Structure 1
């Protein structure tokens, strides 16, 4: 007759299963907004306008055939 195996029963081992359930928690985080103003130089062009009239003299660049008048003398 074959030997029969013996049974040995140990004490139970405890196994934990953690189950989490979400719970809303209100957290207040204050935020302060600071507007910082900075002055930055921006170049821009300012123009001034000068208008002048020029009339050609009849001497050097005058019309051909015209004589240059001599200044008249008063006596």
Structure 2
């Protein structure tokens, strides 16, 4: 093998590769939760019961001035009845 010339050594470089070493550190981040309060107003029925009363005189039997006649006086009024 002495009849082969000795080749000089040579270096060939590939393009560089990037290797990352990641280090993580805590970071304070405020998360703001917005709340909107809506006041809703509603009508609610509150019943107030009223009655109408009428009074009528009816004459039954023997009265002076006629037999079985009805009286002419009638009154009407509103009365409140609350619950």
Above 0.5 in TM-score?
no
Q: Which has the higher strand share?
A: 2
Superposition TM-score tier, normalisation by shorter sequence:
0.3 to 0.5
| TM-score normalised according to structure 2 size | 0.37
Larger RCO (CA within 8 A; separation ≥ 6): 2
| TM-score normalised according to structure 1 size | 0.39
